[in-house]
């Protein structure tokens, strides 16, 4: 039953376009002790139906920029093949370590974007008011 709960939390967070998949994988692997590869594969399965729904809505609202998307799709598939082959060959311990490093990088990126949005931009905003 905990799987359903994990799904609810991840789905909830996915709505804002950040980290749903990350939370799903971490909950499965860290809290439920499911093997890292299987936890990651679960997220792939989880992503497909939800993203198809989102894509249909986005196409209807004309929010997808196909000119940008098409080349990214092709090089993305090449990247995915390389990534998946490497990942599948790694032992669990190493994969978990790399995953941890990746999360730390994402955290830094988030901190940077928060600083930019809530501190730097606000300062600039205040300055322009003073003028």
Restricting to residues 25-54, name those near other proteins by CB under 8 A: 25-26, 28, 30, 34-35, 37-38, 40-52, 54
Contact 10, 20 (CB under 8 A): yes
115 binds other proteins (CB under 8 A): no
- For residues 18 and 126, which CB has a smaller minimum distance to other proteins in the complex? 18
For the bound state, the minimum distance from the C-beta of residue 58 to other proteins, rounded and expressed in Å, comes to 4
Residue 89: how many CA atoms within 13 Å on its side-chain side? 6
* List 94, 100, 120, 122, residue binding other proteins (CB under 8 A): 100
**In the window 56-95, what residues touch other proteins (CB under 8 A)?**
58, 61, 63-65, 68-69, 71-88
Please provide the size of the chain in residues. Answer: 131
Per-residue x/- mask for other proteins, residues 4 to 23, rule CB under 8 A?
xxxxxxxxxxxxxxxx-xxx
Please report the DSSP string for 63-128 in residue order. Answer: ---HHHHHHHHHHHHHHHHHHHHHHHHS-HHHHHHHHHHHHHHHHHHHHHHHHIIIIIHHHHHHHH
Q: Contacts with other proteins: how many residues (CB under 8 A)?
A: 87
């Amino acid at each position: 039953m905990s799987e359903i709960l994990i799904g609810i939390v991840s789905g909830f967070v996915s709505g804002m376009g950040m980290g749903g998949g990350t939370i799903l994988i971490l909950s499965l692997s860290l809290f439920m002790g499911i093997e890292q590869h299987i936890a990651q594969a679960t997220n792939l399965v989880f992503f497909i139906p939800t993203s198809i729904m989102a894509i249909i809505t986005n196409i209807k609202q004309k929010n997808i920029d196909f000119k940008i998307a098409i080349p990214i799709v092709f090089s993305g598939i090449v990247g995915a093949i390389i990534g998946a082959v490497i990942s599948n060959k790694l032992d669990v311990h190493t994969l978990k370590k790399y995953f941890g490093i990746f999360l730390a990088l994402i955290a830094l990126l988030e901190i940077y974007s928060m600083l930019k949005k809530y501190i730097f931009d606000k300062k600039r905003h205040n300055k322009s008011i003073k003028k």
